[in-house]
Amino acid sequence: MELNKLKIGQTIKAEEDFFEKLSKPMQDKYMKEHPKSEKKAEAPAAQEKKASSPAAHPAQQKTQSPMLNLASMKIGQTITASPAFNKWLDTFIEEKGIDLEDTFDVQGASGNNHMPYGVVIEHMKIAPSGEQAKLKDMLVKLDFKNADIKHYLRHLAQALAR
């Protein structure tokens, strides 16, 4: 599912096969960063037993964590789009005349990344509510000072490119 098509109040779910879709170096990196994650080599019977146990899936409950890291989402974990923030952000971006398909370059761990502003907006929309409040506060401050909003979005993109 494309994040820019996320509807107000809609939830998204981590794909069960996300790990297999990662390249081998990314799988290795993920396993280093998440040593307690379920191993791919785990017996299928054990996986089915875990799947049938309701207590085994606390990640399916909506996340209220103020510091949700999308890279650490567990299989089945859901996050809910914030209707008020999404509407405010869409209106703000429209009023500023920012084209979500305009692209810019940002340096990341893999080198130069060509990224559209829409990607940054998508990630702002799925950020935890605490981070959304801080993002909104900063955008309002920048707007009050007639600062370049695109510059701030490019700054946020640096974290996405890492």
Q: Which residue has the higher pLDDT, 8 or 43?
A: 8
Q: What is the DSSP string of 117-158?
A: HHHHHHHHHTS-HHHHHHHHHHHHHHHHTT--HHHHHHHHHH
| End residue of a domain, out of 58, 80, 102 | 80
Q: What is the pLDDT of residue 17?
A: 52
Are 85 and 132 in contact, with CB atoms under 8 Å apart? yes
Q: Which residue has the tokens 């089945």?
A: 76
In a domain, 5, yes or no: no
38: domain range? 10-80
Same domain, 93 and 61: no
Residue 21 host element (H or E): helix 18-21
pLDDT in tens, 43-86: 444 444 444 444 444 444 444 434 455 566 666 655 666 789 99
What whole-number distance in Å separates Cα of residue 145 and Cα of residue 158? 23
In a domain, 16, yes or no: yes
Same domain, 108 and 133: yes
Number of domains in the chain: 2
Strand partners, 105: 114
In 3D space, the residue among 124, 111, 128, 132 whose CA is nearest the CA of residue 157 turns out to be 124
In 3D space, the residue among 143, 142, 131, 149 whose CA is nearest the CA of residue 70 turns out to be 131
Same domain, 150 and 117: yes
Question: Token pair for residue 39?
Answer: 């191993």
Q: Which residue has the higher pLDDT, 41 or 140?
A: 140
Of 2-6, 30-34, 38-42, 102-106, least confident by mean pLDDT is: 38-42
Mean pLDDT computed over every residue of the chain? 73
In a domain, 107, yes or no: yes
Which whole number is the average pLDDT over 121-130?
92
| End residue of a domain, out of 42, 58, 80 | 80
pLDDT in tens, 131-156: 999 999 999 999 999 999 999 999 99
Eight-state DSSP code of residue 106: E
Confidence (pTM): 0.53
Same domain, 92 and 152: yes
Which whole number is the average pLDDT over 107-135?
92
Q: What is the pLDDT of residue 71?
A: 60
Q: Would you call 13 helix, strand, or coil by DSSP?
A: strand
| End residue of a domain, out of 41, 56, 80 | 80
